[in-house]
Amino acid sequence: MLGRRARKAIADYRKATADEAGEIALMLHYVETGTAFTCEFGDIDETFYDSLLSVARKAAEKIGKLPAVERESYRDRLWGLVESSDGIGWGYHDELDHIFYLTFPES
C-alpha cells in the first residue's frame, strides 16, 4: 500500500512540475528511505523490495538518458544505495548493484 502511494506521489510530482531532476531526486529518496528503513528495523518482504527496485530501475533509466555531465551527479547516490543495501535479502542488494553498473558501465 505504501509503495503504491509513494509511486503515485512521484507521478503526481512529475505531472505537476515537469521537473526531471526533481523527479529523479524524489525517486532516489524513496529508495534511500526504504533501504534505510530496512537497515534500521530489519528485513521486510518481497513486495516491499520489488516496489523499491521498480522505482530504482525507473530512476536509473532516466539517469541513463541524461548527458554524461548530469548523469555523473547521481553516481554517488546510486553507489550509496548499493553499499547501504549490502546484506539485505530477497536479491535486493544484488539488483541495486546490477542497476548501478547498467547506469555507469565504465565503473
Tens of pLDDT, residue by residue over 37-83, are 999 999 888 899 999 999 999 999 999 999 999 999 999 999 999 99
Contact predicate 55/10, CB 8 Å: yes
pLDDT at 89: 87
Range of the structural domain that residue 28 is part of: 2-103
pLDDT for 83-95, tens place per residue? Answer: 999 999 889 999 9
Instruction: Return d(Cα 25, Cα 22) in angstroms, integer.
Output: 5
How many structural domains does the chain have?
Answer: 1
- Residue 3: per-residue pLDDT: 79
* pTM, rounded to two decimals: 0.93
Length of the chain equals: 107
Three cell numbers written together for 76 = 554517488
Residue 2, pLDDT above cutoff 80? no
Do 93 and 45 form a contact (C-beta atoms < 8 A)? no
pLDDT of residue 4: 85
pLDDT-derived band of residue 1, with 50, 70 and 90 as boundaries?
low
Q: Which residue has the higher pLDDT, 6 or 100?
A: 100
Angstrom distance (rounded) from CA 1 to CA 70: 33
Domain CATH for 97: 1.20.58
Q: What residues have CB less than 8 Å from 66, skipping those under 6 apart?
A: 74
User: What local confidence, expressed as pLDDT, does residue 34 receive?
Assistant: 95
